[in-house]
């Protein structure tokens, strides 16, 4: 089991209830497993922020792993995570 | 359809006002131009290519100001309420379209017009009053010198109608400051100095009241399209957050990702970020939400700082304010950012250019190029909140150093010398918005080749920022930039809001965009048909620039982006060296069928797009 810190902002933070939450990832201990655990804990309100309900697909976005490494929802869901890791959700960014 | 026009969504006529002799005429909209260029920026580019001689003075009476709507404006389609104000720009010296949201475009259509062409120069200050069929040029001496909101208040009172929609300039526009904006009710046509063009015509305001409606061929189809699009607005994840936090929803995330431009782009991580996020703004200053016509995104925030030295009442702040006066000037006070926003509105200044000019001056000061003698005693260091606000006032009034900064960073650096051009952050004279391209090659070539230069509305970095496309490779980036250009320019001719990017794009023109256009007009365009229109629009704008003398050499990036890698954070080391940029430009021109040497469209491309008339000018 890996206990992971998840940092988020804006409407994802609103769903998670705090800017940083901790969650246990049991199996698989991967980035994809982390999101499954988050859906289990926070339900459709979280899922609908990450998976487009119109297509059923996870939307593309970047994450920051342990301060420096940028990973992506499109290519890094199989990446292993370790106990104590921190992941920042850098949600799809447009501009005004 | 309206006025016997062949296609739905159009009013079928243009309004032309000549300010020299104060005449007003109505002329039919050309059906072939509507079909080939749609409306908005595309149609305005075609009109101005036809009507403006090359190399005219943008602030002379020969220039024309075109306010253009699109066929979707004024219908129930969401995120489709924008309006284009176009002219030859005094700032970038080529065709420019400055686009704003709100209600003015729909109102102009309700008055019966697809667009307004203003030509000549009035001998004294005037405003244009459009009241359905009745149009007149009125004296505006009593409005001259008034800030935009005050001028709007006076006009609503004297006309006796609170429901009119008004575009106004401030002091900056009256004095023809090259990055003066136009305030349209509460929204700004901010970029490219369209306010200066208006001021050069002695035109203080355009006030519009319309009581008609827009006719479509199949109202049930439009209803169903709007229903589907509203459903997408409500559910597509990347659109969420705008209603609550507005465009600043991503400030904190961008900082975490190492892509929040800071300290005049010396870095892209801001240590003071936590105090200027969308969340902080919502908690501390936002008092309400406002939407544009028929839009369910609801992104505009009404904010109040009730007391103290930063007392302000604004519609904002938007992300670009937080970027420009926040991280770029290293100011971490949300109330001060509200004040900066209010001051820009008061003087009628484009806030992005204003902020970047001040940040450039701050860097000059810290590097010893400017001293306190130059700044009238202001210690103009990064993070000096009050110094920054004083400089906005000085730019607005063109006092002291403000007179130099009012010229923009490109001209100011030419005057100052001392290698200060190395930390100007502009292309084609237009200062950069708050969206980096140092880690993103498609965005880099899109910015460099964009007709407006430093505009995040000619290219969007979103595909690379989100991981939808691999940002680490160069392959295919010319094609990606071109296809992003296409969905953007089609949106800017339909007047769709780019905040609907996941719905209208983001990689190429989407089925949603095409369906909105087809439903309203009655056309049955497929993807290739829509793409060809967009390609034609992009090429006519490129031809306009080429006719003005622009070449491949003008497709540049700031020196800082080519020679100074991001120094810290997760994007550390990112930059676009000149040789990489040149390779990307080759890739982009080749994909477009443009000449690699000149960067101009080729004869074959122009024939293919039906732009034969431009061959003599650019080939």
Looking at residue A96, its pLDDT comes to: 56
Rounded to the nearest angstrom, the minimum Cα separation between A46 and chain B is 10
- How many angstroms separate the CA atoms of B378 and B376, rounded? 6
Last residue of a domain, one of B160, B184, B209: B209
Q: Reply yes or no: is the peptide bond before residue B506 cis, omega within 30 of 0.
A: yes
Cβ–Cβ gap A96/B254 under 8 Å: no
CA distances from B33 to B215, B292, B294, B539, B572 (A): 19, 28, 27, 15, 48
Rounded to the nearest angstrom, the minimum Cα separation between A19 and chain B is 11
Cβ–Cβ gap B467/A54 under 8 Å: no
- How many angstroms separate the CA atoms of B427 and B372, rounded? 29
CA distances from A81 to A51, A77, B130, B574 (A): 21, 10, 63, 26
B327 and B202 in a common domain: no
Q: Does B435 touch chain A (CB under 8 A)?
A: yes
Whether residue A95 is contained in a domain is answered as no
* E strands present in B222-347: 286-290, 300-305, 312-315
The DSSP symbol for B248 reads: G
If contacts are CB pairs under 8 Å, which of residues 87-146 in chain B contact chain A? none
pLDDT at B78 over 90: yes
Whether residue A96 is contained in a domain is answered as no
B382 and B348 in a common domain: yes
Whether residue A46 is contained in a domain is answered as yes
Nearest by CB to A88, from B249, B256, B318: name it. B256
The residue of chain B nearest to residue A63, with distances taken between CA atoms, is B257
Looking at residue B132, its pLDDT comes to: 98
Range of the domain at B165: 2-209
pLDDT at B378 over 60: yes
Nearest by CB to B465, from A52, A64, A93: name it. A93
Instruction: State the best of B467, B484, B503, B569 to mutate against chain A, taking most chain A CBs within 10 Å.
Output: B467
Q: What are phi and psi of B598, to 5 degrees?
A: -95, -25
Token pair 């940029």 in the structure block, residue: B581
Cβ–Cβ gap A89/B257 under 8 Å: no
Cβ–Cβ gap B434/A95 under 8 Å: yes
Whether residue A69 is contained in a domain is answered as yes
How many other C-beta atoms lie within 10 A of the C-beta of residue B1?
A: 17
B273 and B294 in a common domain: yes
Residue A29: give its domain's CATH number.
3.10.20.30
CB contacts of A64 in chain B (<8 Å) are 256-257, 570
Res. A91 pLDDT band, cuts 50 70 90:
confident
Cβ–Cβ gap A90/B232 under 8 Å: no
Q: Does B455 touch chain A (CB under 8 A)?
A: no
Structure tokens at B429: 């004279």
Cβ–Cβ gap B238/A48 under 8 Å: no
- How many angstroms separate the CA atoms of B62 and B425, rounded? 31
pLDDT at A34 over 80: yes
The count of domains in chain A is 1
B207, B199, B166, B165: which is closest to B180 by C-alpha? B199
Dihedral angle of Cα B278, B280, B282, B286, to the nearest 10 degrees: -110
What long-range pairs does B342-345 form, CB within 8 A, spacing at least 24? B342/B312, B342/B313, B342/B314, B343/B389, B343/B392, B343/B393, B343/B396, B344/B181, B344/B392, B345/B147, B345/B148, B345/B149, B345/B170, B345/B183, B345/B188, B345/B314
Whether residue B139 is contained in a domain is answered as yes
If contacts are CB pairs under 8 Å, which of residues 266-285 in chain B contact chain A? 277-279
B10 in Cβ contact with B212 (< 8 Å):
no
Residue B367: give its domain's CATH number.
1.10.569.10
Whether residue B489 is contained in a domain is answered as yes
How many beta-carbon pairs below 8 A join chains A and B? 124
First to last CA, chain A: 41
Average pLDDT over residues B186-213: 97
How do residues B433-456 score in pLDDT, each as one tens digit? Answer: 999 999 999 999 999 999 999 999
ipTM of the complex: 0.95
Structure tokens at B121: 């120069």
CB contacts of A7 in chain B (<8 Å) are 256
CB contacts of A55 in chain B (<8 Å) are none
Whether residue B18 is contained in a domain is answered as yes
pLDDT at B126 over 60: yes
Whether residue B231 is contained in a domain is answered as no
Looking at residue B3, its pLDDT comes to: 80
Residue B190: give its domain's CATH number.
3.60.9.10
Q: Which residues of A fall below an 8 Å CB-CB distance to B?
A: 7, 9-11, 13-14, 48-54, 59-62, 64, 67-70, 72-75, 88-96
Cβ–Cβ gap A10/B466 under 8 Å: no
Residue B157, classified by CB atoms within 10 Å of its CB into exposed (0-12), middle (13-18) or buried (19+), is exposed
CB contacts of A51 in chain B (<8 Å) are 237
Res. A32 pLDDT band, cuts 50 70 90:
very high
Range of the domain at A68: 2-90
B290 and B205 in a common domain: no
Q: Does B351 touch chain A (CB under 8 A)?
A: no
Q: What are phi and psi of B449, to 5 degrees?
A: -90, -10
The count of domains in chain B is 3
Looking at residue B61, its pLDDT comes to: 98
Beta bridge partners of B290: B300
Average pLDDT of chain A to the nearest whole number: 93
Cβ–Cβ gap A93/B462 under 8 Å: yes
How do residues B496-519 score in pLDDT, each as one tens digit? Answer: 999 999 999 999 999 999 999 999
Cβ–Cβ gap A92/B462 under 8 Å: yes
Query: Is B13 strand, coil or helix?
Result: strand
Last residue of a domain, one of B430, B458, B490: B430
pLDDT at A95 over 70: no
CB contacts of A61 in chain B (<8 Å) are 466-467
Whether residue A57 is contained in a domain is answered as yes
Residue A83, classified by CB atoms within 10 Å of its CB into exposed (0-12), middle (13-18) or buried (19+), is exposed
B372 in Cβ contact with B424 (< 8 Å):
no
CB contacts of B501 in chain A (<8 Å) are 94
Nearest by CB to B253, from A49, A54, A90: name it. A90
Cβ–Cβ gap B235/A90 under 8 Å: no
B466 and B349 in a common domain: no
DSSP per-residue letters across A60-88: P-EEEETTTEEEETTT-TT-B--TT-EEE
Residue B554, classified by CB atoms within 10 Å of its CB into exposed (0-12), middle (13-18) or buried (19+), is buried
Q: Reply yes or no: is the peptide bond before residue B317 cis, omega within 30 of 0.
A: yes
Report the DSSP pairing between strands B95-100 and B23-28: unpaired
Last residue of a domain, one of B430, B458, B486: B430
Average pLDDT of chain B to the nearest whole number: 97
Instruction: State the best of B227, B232, B243, B250 to mutate against chain A, taking most chain A CBs within 10 Å.
Output: B250
Res. A94 pLDDT band, cuts 50 70 90:
low
Whether residue B239 is contained in a domain is answered as no
Looking at residue A93, its pLDDT comes to: 64
How do residues B18-60 score in pLDDT, each as one tens digit? Answer: 999 999 999 999 999 999 999 999 999 999 999 999 999 999 9
B260 in Cβ contact with B251 (< 8 Å):
yes
CB contacts of B258 in chain A (<8 Å) are 70
CB contacts of A93 in chain B (<8 Å) are 250, 253-254, 257, 259, 462, 465-466
Cβ–Cβ gap B237/A50 under 8 Å: yes
- Burial call A35-53: b when 16+ CB within 10 Å, e when fewer: bbbbbeebeeebbbbbbbb
- How many angstroms separate the CA atoms of B106 and B205, rounded? 17
Rounded to the nearest angstrom, the minimum Cα separation between A93 and chain B is 6
Rounded to the nearest angstrom, the minimum Cα separation between B120 and chain A is 33
- How many angstroms separate the CA atoms of B367 and B362, rounded? 9
- How many angstroms separate the CA atoms of A49 and B237, rounded? 5
CB contacts of A60 in chain B (<8 Å) are 466-468
B474 and B365 in a common domain: no
Looking at residue B357, its pLDDT comes to: 98
B301 and B260 in a common domain: yes
B186 and B152 in a common domain: yes
Whether residue B223 is contained in a domain is answered as no
B399 and B443 in a common domain: no
Token pair 């006032």 in the structure block, residue: B393
Cβ–Cβ gap B466/A61 under 8 Å: yes
How do residues B90-108 score in pLDDT, each as one tens digit? Answer: 999 999 999 999 999 999 9
Whether residue B573 is contained in a domain is answered as yes
Cβ–Cβ gap B571/A70 under 8 Å: yes
Whether residue B217 is contained in a domain is answered as no
CA neighbours closer than 13 Å in the CB half-sphere of residue A2? 22
């Amino acid at each position: 089991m890996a206990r992971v810190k998840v940092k988020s902002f804006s409407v994802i933070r609103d769903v998670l209830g705090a800017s940083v939450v901790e969650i246990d990832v049991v199996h698989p201990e991967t980035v994809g497993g982390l999101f499954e655990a988050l859906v289990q804990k926070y339900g459709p309100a979280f899922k609908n922020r990450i998976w487009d309900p119109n297509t059923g697909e996870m939307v593309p976005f970047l994450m920051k792993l342990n301060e420096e490494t940028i990973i992506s929802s499109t290519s890094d869901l199989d990446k292993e995570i370790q106990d104590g890791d921190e992941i920042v959700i850098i949600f799809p960014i447009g501009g005004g | 359809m309206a006025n016997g026009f062949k296609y739905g969504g159009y009013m079928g006529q243009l309004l032309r006002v000549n300010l020299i002799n104060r005449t007003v005429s109505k002329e039919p909209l050309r059906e072939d131009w509507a079909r080939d260029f749609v409306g908005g920026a595309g149609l305005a580019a075609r009109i101005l290519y036809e009507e403006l001689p090359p190399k005219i003075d943008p602030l002379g009476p020969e220039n024309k100001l075109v306010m253009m709507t699109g066929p979707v404006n004024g219908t129930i389609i969401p995120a489709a309420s924008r309006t284009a104000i176009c002219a030859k720009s005094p700032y970038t010296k080529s065709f420019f379209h400055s686009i704003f949201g709100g209600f003015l475009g729909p109102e102009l259509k309700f008055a019966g017009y697809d667009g307004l062409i203003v030509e000549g120069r009035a001998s004294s200050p005037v405003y244009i009053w459009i009241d359905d069929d009745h149009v007149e040029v009125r004296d505006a001496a009593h409005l001259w010198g008034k800030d935009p909101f005050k001028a709007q208040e006076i006009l609503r009172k004297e006309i006796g109608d609170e429901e009119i929609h008004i575009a106004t300039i401030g002091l900056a526009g009256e004095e023809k400051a090259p990055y003066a904006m136009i305030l349209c009710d509460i929204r700004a046509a901010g970029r490219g100095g369209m306010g200066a063009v208006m001021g050069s015509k002695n035109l203080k305001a355009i006030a519009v009241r319309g009581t008609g409606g827009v006719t479509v061929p199949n109202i049930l189809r439009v209803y169903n399209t709007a229903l589907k699009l509203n459903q997408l607005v409500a559910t597509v994840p990347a659109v969420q957050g705008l209603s609550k936090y507005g465009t600043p929803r991503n400030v904190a995330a961008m900082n975490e990702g190492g892509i929040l431009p800071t300290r005049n782009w010396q870095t892209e991580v801001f240590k003071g970020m936590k105090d200027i996020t969308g969340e902080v703004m919502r908690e501390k200053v936002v008092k309400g939400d406002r939407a544009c016509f028929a839009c369910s995104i609801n992104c505009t925030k009404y904010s109040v700082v009730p007391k103290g030295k930063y007392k302000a009442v604004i519609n904002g702040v938007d992300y670009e304010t937080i970027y420009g006066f926040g991280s770029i000037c290293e100011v971490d006070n949300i109330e001060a950012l509200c004040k900066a926003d209010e001051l820009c509105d008061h003087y009628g200044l484009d806030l992005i250019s204003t902020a970047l000019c001040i940040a450039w001056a701050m860097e000059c000061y810290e590097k010893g190029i400017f001293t306190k003698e130059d700044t009238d005693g202001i210690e103009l260091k990064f993070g000096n909140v009050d110094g920054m606000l004083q400089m906005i006032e000085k730019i607005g009034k063109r006092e002291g150093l403000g007179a130099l900064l009012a010229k923009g960073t490109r001209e100011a650096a030419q005057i100052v010398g001392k290698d200060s051009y190395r930390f100007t952050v502009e292309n084609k004279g237009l200062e950069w918005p708050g969206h980096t391209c140092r880690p993103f090659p498609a965005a880099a070539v899109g910015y460099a080749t964009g007709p407006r230069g430093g505009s995040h509305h000619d290219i969007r970095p979103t595909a690379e920022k989100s991981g939808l496309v691999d940002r680490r490779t160069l392959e295919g980036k010319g094609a990606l930039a071109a296809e992003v250009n296409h969905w953007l320019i089609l949106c800017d001719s339909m007047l769709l809001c780019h905040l609907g990017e996941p719905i209208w794009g983001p990689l190429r023109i989407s089925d949603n965009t095409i369906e909105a256009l087809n439903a309203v007009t009655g056309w049955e365009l497929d993807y290739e048909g829509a793409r060809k229109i967009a390609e034609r629009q992009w090429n006519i704008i490129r031809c306009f620039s080429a006719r003005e003398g622009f070449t491949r050499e003008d497709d540049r990036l700031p020196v800082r982006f080519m020679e100074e890698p991001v120094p810290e954070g997760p994007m550390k080391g990112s930059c676009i060296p000149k040789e990489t940029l040149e390779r990307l430009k080759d890739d982009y021109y080749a994909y477009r069928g443009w000449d690699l040497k000149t960067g101009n469209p080729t004869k074959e491309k122009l024939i293919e797009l039906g732009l034969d008339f431009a061959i003599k000018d650019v080939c």
